[in-house]
Amino acid sequence: MGMRQDRGLTGMEVRRYRVIQDVIDRRLTQREAGEELELSVRQVRRVVRKVRDKGAAGVIHGLVGKRGNRFFDSKKEEKIIQLWKDKYRECGLNFTHFTEKLTEVEKIPVSKEKVRLLLREKELVDMKAKKGRKHRRQRPRRLHFGELIQQDTSPHDWLGIGKEIQAINAVDDATSRIVYLKLCEHDGTLPNMEAMRSVILRYGIPMSYYVDKASWFKVTRHLTTTISQQSSTEYETQIQRALEELGVGIIYADSPQAKGRVERSNGTLQNRLISELKLHGCKTIRDANRFIDEYFIDDYNRRFGVEPIEKDFAFVPLLNKEQLDRILCLRFTSTTQNDNTVSRSKYYKLQLLPTQLRTSWVKAPVEVSIRIDGSVEVRHRNTREVIPHEVLDLKVPTEIKHERVDRTVNELLTEKHCSRRYGSSH
């Protein structure tokens, strides 16, 4: 009998041949042979047919002397390694992200495991030590899209320029989809209000928000008086007040792990967004936000979003955009001074102007609103009449000094008006 590849049988193949020959000679049943060789009856039948046709060579595996079904061309390996060294390594891609780029951009179909083994074999990646983890229980997802929005800010060197930048991220709990993502220089009340405004304009009013206990979400300073001594509204933040007016619930997380969906999303962003911004040459906040709006959010949701358990949306349609802008703002109450000015030391000083019906506003209670775009509105607290005014001083809080607000406020101070709105659809 001729041996395949002109080689002899190994010890295991000899043993298999003897057992199969016993089956052919009816000294063993197929079931007994299968138990001895740890094969199924169907496999025993196949080997029996091969031995009858080819003799002892029938027990040799069909791929002996041939390339395996998972053989990977060495030229492709070299190309992958070269792409990693020249293009992708400096951007800090992880194995999954790099594999996606190879498949989708470089048109090299390959598995993540192959990439991982190849790069580690060539010692082209550093092993990261795993951190110990505490045991926690998973919280079930909400049922409907829009039932709960988790919002958080992740400070990081997103642009790779050695400067910490804030990324405000809002994730739907039911689907893990990003409904808002934007980089800004500072975190605070108005940047988070801008995120809420964008979500509401695009999707509608959600049922509730899940946030941390930052001072712009929850009053955290020590209270020296009781609520019975002062109005309870004095203990509300601007965001608490706005969400209450919109009929949106607010839930506070006691730990980062409590709002795990958005925290995991932040981790994924630190793995992927930084690399993508480097690959696309985004060096400024404006360029990064444009790339996020036009490409990244849709790509992220396509890869990581899931379908909600219930198909009905929990978002309530927005009926009045102007009313939304009057709610999502910094709102203060003041009493007009004898020179017809109203002021708040940390924020503004305004000169109220006469109208045809009223020449003086002295002692009048007024409500001052600083909107997300930097414009200012003054209304009489009782009659809700809009009062004309001039801006004498407008101090933008550090927390809202990001690129777009700085520009619109400067226009307001120099030209006495603000005509630019910058709310995003995402």
List, as one string, the DSSP characters of 240-304.
HHHHHHHT-EEEE-SSGGGGHHHHHHHHHHHHHHHHHHHHTT--SHHHHHHHIIIIIHHHHHHHH
351 in Cβ contact with 359 (< 8 Å): no
Beta bridge partners of 194: none
Angle at the Cα of 165 from the Cα atoms of 162 and 169, rounded to 5 degrees = 140
The pair of three-digit structure tokens given for residue 60, joined into one six-digit string:
């040799």
Q: Where are the alpha helices (DSSP H) in 105-167?
A: 112-121
CA 51 to CA 60: how far, in whole Å?
A: 10
Cβ neighbour number for residue 11 with a 10 Å cutoff:
7
Sequence-ordered list of residues with C-beta below 8 angstroms from that of 371, at least 6 positions apart, any chain: 325, 328, 329, 377
- What pLDDT digit, counting tens, does each position of 81-96 carry? 888 888 888 888 888 8
Number of Cβ within 10 Å of residue 72's Cβ equals: 14
Quick one: pLDDT at residue 389? 93
Strand locations in 132-280 (E):
149-156, 165-172, 178-184, 208-211, 249-252
pTM of the model: 0.66
Q: Are 393 and 376 in contact (CB under 8 A)?
A: no
Place of tokens 């992200």: 97
Sign of CA dihedral 117, 120, 124, 130: positive
Q: What is the C-alpha to C-alpha distance for residues 374 and 154, in angstroms, rounded to an integer?
A: 24
- Note down pLDDT in tens along the chain; length 426 residues: 444 445 567 777 788 888 888 888 888 898 988 888 888 999 889 889 988 888 888 787 766 666 665 666 778 888 888 888 888 888 888 888 888 888 888 888 888 888 888 888 877 776 565 566 665 666 788 899 999 999 999 999 999 888 899 999 999 999 999 999 999 988 888 899 999 999 999 999 999 999 988 888 888 665 444 444 444 445 688 999 999 999 999 998 877 666 778 888 999 998 899 999 999 989 899 999 999 999 999 999 999 999 998 888 899 888 788 889 989 999 999 999 999 999 988 889 999 999 888 989 999 999 999 988 888 999 999 988 999 999 998 876 544 433 333 333 333 333 333 333 333 333
Non-local (6+) Cβ contacts of 283 within 8 A are 159, 161
Task: Give the pLDDT score at 289.
Answer: 94
Residue 69 has a pLDDT of 59
DSSP 289-339: HHHIIIIIHHHHHHHH----SS-S--PBPP--HHHHHHHSEEEEEEE--TT
- Residue 179 backbone dihedrals phi, psi, to 5 degrees: -105, -10
Nearest alpha-carbon partner for 247 in 282, 196, 213: 196
pLDDT in tens, 178-187: 999 999 988 8
Asked if residue 143 lies in contact with residue 123, where contact means CB atoms within 8 angstroms, the answer is no
pLDDT score, position 416: 34
C-alpha angle 356-393-352 in degrees, rounded to nearest 5: 15
Q: Which residues of 274-284 are buried (b: 16+ CB within 10 A; e: fewer)?
A: bbbbbbeebee
Question: Helices H, strands E: what count in the chain?
Answer: 13, 11
Q: What is the largest CA-CA distance in the chain?
A: 119
State residue 296's pLDDT score: 94
pLDDT at position 112 is 86
